[in-house]
Structure 1
């Protein structure tokens, strides 16, 4: 590949984005009598607003998205000896949350078009030990929840949505909180709305909310003054400052997603014209895709060539990253409960193996750029791929 440009040739909107609303929220939290959820009102207000936007009856705010998954699995009763089916192609938090509870993550292959959990592959992995299936809504593309609902009904296995990428996404016009199962979100620094860190869990009914609330605060019920630890749990509570920032971020979310929806079509069409570049597909039942990432595959490439492409894109000012490796191709995966071995899992998950080696993703802030910048991005992308 030729030498990188001396100066970036493209600029994109900054991320995170903040304004007067975040500053006002932080001062509002600062001026309260208390800075934790039991002494202030920001977390309570954020939970109500986040649940309302997503059509859920309840929400519990957490310290981060991984903890939201752990909390949900705990509410489902997942523990040592249980199995949870997870996508092989996902950020490792999906499998780590299972392992942190002593359960075994069972990687299943993903769909070659959407990169979401392959339901037929999942069905083959259901055993009497399977407690839950955890679809990941990859890059905001909701997994096939119709087929997963049928699988859950037939097997009695629970569905837990890992919605870390899917803020305000919709499936058949229904919001994530209207789909009948728990959904866990992340507010880490790169996510579609952020307070640096943070998470939330949407709950479908009063009892699951009661259990989540207890478990996210060391088992203590609301208003407890006698240390009545009614169940197992941990301290997953969000603080008031994070909640205040997230309330402001929530106010921008839907408008930003509307821009991303429009810009993503332009960018995907332009990138698809580049030989060897295949953008992530879309299931039309996902009628609002939140576009956490703009993902493409470099068909037939090697990991080394992919790394060179990503380095060159970054040198041009494009926030580009390599895709996730399959979870079982990481060292951390093998330091918790597991079954099988890497080569066996690789044969079982051929699509995840391919995507894990040739996928590139662009940060969602590129989809907030103006159309002319996106045209220039496609030109740069084509030149970088041709030179690699």
Structure 2
């Protein structure tokens, strides 16, 4: 007789909210202005977010993709420049470069952390390279020591794609203390959210002031005569979004503590399942907020991985297929692609070739569940794989 299948865990809902968000929305509603130039919520959120991440400055923007575009523009990315980006990431990392007229150069990733491989990046730097973009995959910080040395030796900038890494630390340093610009996302699934939104942190006043101008159509704060000093666009965050994000930031630390504790349990349980490999951790990444719980099943095909994801969803586990290799989607080739073929890039990105086919990730709300739910999650993964 077959054992009864493990029931679907009732994970916490996402997004989470309480009276903090309600009070913030009313506070924004009842103030004199609803946009950043007339209200107080965006200014206050920027200061709180900068302080939390150890950055001298933060600028709130419309979304995470715009955060990347704005940061890259400040760094001088445009035609005839290249930016090294992980081959395994969400497509915004490369498209932000390409929309500015730059060329995105895919770089293979580490087989254990899934972050950009520093040694592979070093081999791809040219005289046109303007920046290296590490993506802190699933909240695990990239090898910032190795990348900093490479960038310093080559005279190029680093821009951190920290869309997954709110609250992460590397060797005792927060994202904003690492001396480089960082871009964050507040999209609906992110670790703190207002549905959409983004932020950029800056290590110096000069880059912050330039970004401020460009995110507000090139117009200074006090301008009354439409004296636009630079080109730019309207990437301004509104007051209601900022009010919600202030409440989200206030509970982030406690949620990270819970996810760190639960991943130690769930990651260990998943690693005991035959054929399953959980994302590893570089101990220099001292605090990982765990935007995703990532696992691989090496040897399965992309079709089998997709069937696995569907089966997990049917069993009540919020599972997703991992990102496709950026060079294996049509949008990557529309403009700003390197002068290589898909297969040429694939040949130098063997880890990415495996990851995009055999990797699965679970939404971070699973890691806000109970210890029993971690056992149930692992049991369901084992049962689904055993039934293949």
Task: Give TM-score scaled by structure 2 length.
Answer: 0.98
1:350 aligns to 2:350 (yes or no): yes
| Partner of residue 118, structure 2 | 119
Contact 2:216–2:232 under 8 Å retained in 1? yes
Q: For 2:342 and 2:5, how far apart are their aligned partners in 1? A: 41
Q: For 1:173 and 1:280, how far apart are their aligned partners in 2? A: 21
SS of match in other structure, 2:25: helix
| Partner of residue 14, structure 1 | 13
| Partner of residue 257, structure 1 | 256
1:7 positional shift: 11
| Partner of residue 184, structure 2 | 185
SS of match in other structure, 2:182: strand
Q: For 1:154 and 1:172, how far apart are their aligned partners in 2? A: 21
| Partner of residue 380, structure 1 | 380
Contact 1:302–1:358 under 8 Å retained in 2? yes
Deviations 1:205-259 (A, max 9, x none): 0101101101110111111111111111111110100000000000000000000
Deviations 1:102-158 (A, max 9, x none): 100000000000000001110111000000000000001000000111011100010
- Flag structure 2 segments of 5+ consecutive residues without an equivalent: none
| Partner of residue 236, structure 2 | 237
In 2 relative to 1, CA 129–28 (structure 1 residues): closer, same or farther, beyond 3 Å? same
| Partner of residue 157, structure 2 | 158
Contact 2:84–2:106 under 8 Å retained in 1? yes
Contact 1:47–1:61 under 8 Å retained in 2? yes
Query: 1:38-187, aligned counterparts within 5 Å?
Result: 38-187=37-186
1:8 positional shift: 6.6
In 2 relative to 1, CA 277–174 (structure 1 residues): closer, same or farther, beyond 3 Å? same
SS of match in other structure, 1:309: helix
Q: For 2:26 and 2:15, how far apart are their aligned partners in 1? A: 19
Query: 1:218-367, aligned counterparts within 5 Å?
Result: 218-339=217-338, 340-367=340-367
Contact 1:314–1:320 under 8 Å retained in 2? yes
SS of match in other structure, 1:283: coil
Contact 1:7–1:315 under 8 Å retained in 2? no
C-alpha RMSD of the superposition: 1.2
1:9 positional shift: 2.0
Q: For 1:25 and 1:7, how far apart are their aligned partners in 2? A: 40
SS of match in other structure, 1:132: strand
Query: 1:191-206, aligned counterparts within 5 Å?
Result: 191-206=190-205
1:6 positional shift: 12
Contact 1:95–1:327 under 8 Å retained in 2? yes
Contact 1:11–1:318 under 8 Å retained in 2? no
Q: For 2:8 and 2:211, how far apart are their aligned partners in 1? A: 48
SS of match in other structure, 2:124: coil
Deviations 1:319-359 (A, max 9, x none): 00000010011111111211111111110111001001100
Contact 2:114–2:137 under 8 Å retained in 1? yes
Task: Give TM-score scaled by structure 1 length.
Answer: 0.98
